[in-house]
Chain A
Amino acid sequence: MMPRSTRFANVRFSVSGSYGVRPALVGASLSVLFLACGGAAVAPQELLDARTAYAEAAKGPAADLAPAQLDTAKVSLDGAEQSFKEEGAEQVTKDLAYIAQRRAELAAAEGGREKAERKRAAADKDFKTAQIEGLQKTKEQLNAEKAARVDAEKKAAAAMSSLAEIAKVKEESRGVVITLSGSVLFATNQSSLLAIAKDKLDQVASALQGQGFKAIVVQGYTDSRGNASDNERLSLKRAQSVRDHLVSRGLPSDKVTAEGLGASKPVADNGTADGRAENRRVEIVVTPDK
């Protein structure tokens, strides 16, 4: 830089010296000098910053979202460029460039804010839609659950009523008591199930599977004839046969137990044949879940 301006100073000096002699040459030299000086003027840092700031703003969201501000910044930058052309790197150019830079940054910030606000609005909308979807989903789930519950209750009721056709079903304080007649289940003095008994017990098992229960106790009873210990042994064996069959049909083995109670709790008169037939029985006591 320095050597160049020194050279120009020398040129100007020599031109001044020959002023009176060749005016045309002087004019030409002066314009060369002017051009040389103008070319040598370097844009001030403020103008460089303003150009960069504007270029960056124009690349960003401001172009679409803050066009008016970006335009103002452009006008401002053009003004600074004009001033630089006319005045060079004077303070006025620097001031105009500073302002142009701030306007470009303002436009960029406005664009950024607008972009963020749109993003937020979209997210809010998305949130509301999702919320509504979620509510609908929950409602559908609840409806489905309710329908399933109603269905299960219906099935259980149907199972219980079909059970009532083959056995006596009574609700007592110890639970639901299903009473099956001994003559239906076993041959005299036998503890193995008759074929028809197995069918009935299958129905009992499927009815019980549809409901929740805490425990099932299968109790075997006899009439009062014969030896008491024989009766107890037979009643236990029969209860176990029933219990094993129910477990083989899918009832949980840990929840189903068997008891042999002999002639201990007659439900009818042991003095008549009908009464004794009623006393020979198996009771399935279901302790409900709740």
Chain B
Amino acid sequence: MKIRTWVYSCILGTIWSACGGAPVPHEALSAAQADVKGAEVGGAAENPKAALHLKLAKDQIALAEKQISDGDNEEAKRTLERAQLDADLALALAKEVKAQAAASEASEQVGKLHKELNK
């Protein structure tokens, strides 16, 4: 009777520790970090709106790291998903601003050329 109780406790304990603690979200962490790098390389820091989302991404990665060390892996995973999207948005905004600047520049050049030709 006592042995059986002990065996049950062991089995239950094993199940508990396996299910209760979600695995550390290594993949989500490195994905978010990679996207932050990508956004930085893409010039997100040079544009205020993009820079804001870059900062949000970094802050959330820091938060996720804290959550991981506290054992809140499930929460950390969700935080990292948010962080990754902020990094992606930062990059997209940086690209958008660059494309808009290039378009304005091109339009201006065309305008100048037309003006010159119509002299």
Task: Show the binding face of A for B, using Cβ within 8 Å.
Answer: 92, 95, 98-99, 102-103, 105-106, 109-110, 112-113, 116-117, 119-120, 123-124, 126-127, 130-131, 133-134, 137
Contact = CB atoms under 8 A, between A and B. Distances in A.
Given A116-B99, A123-B107, 10 more contacts: A98-B85, A102-B88, A103-B85, A105-B89, A109-B95, A110-B92, A112-B99, A116-B103, A120-B99, A134-B113
Interface of B: 78, 81-82, 85-86, 88-89, 92-93, 95-96, 99-100, 102-103, 106-107, 109-110, 113-114, 116-117
Contact of B99 (A95, A105, A113, A127): A113
7 contacts: A95-B82, A98-B85, A102-B86, A109-B89, A113-B96, A119-B107, A134-B116
B82 A130 contact: no
Nearest to B50: A109
Contact of A116 (B88, B92, B102): B102
Chain B binding surface SS class: helix
B96 A127 contact: no
Contacts of B85: 98-99, 102-103, 106
Nearest to A76: B85
The CB with the most chain B CB atoms within 10 A, among A112, A113, A133, A137, is that of A113
Nearest to B114: A130
A109 B93 contact: yes
Given A127-B106, A130-B113, A117 B99 contact: yes
Contact of A123 (B86, B93, B109, B117): B109
Contacts of A119: 103, 106-107
Contact of A126 (B86, B96, B100, B110): B110
Given A106-B85, A106-B89, A130-B117, A123 B110 contact: yes
A110 B97 CA distance: 11
A100 to B, nearest CB: 10
Contact of A120 (B102, B113, B116): B102
Contacts of A137: 117
B81 to A, nearest CB: 6
Nearest to A95: B78
A110 B95 CA distance: 8
A99 B81 CA distance: 8
Given A105-B89, A106-B89, A120 B96 contact: no
Given A109-B95, A116-B96, A130-B113, A102 B103 contact: no
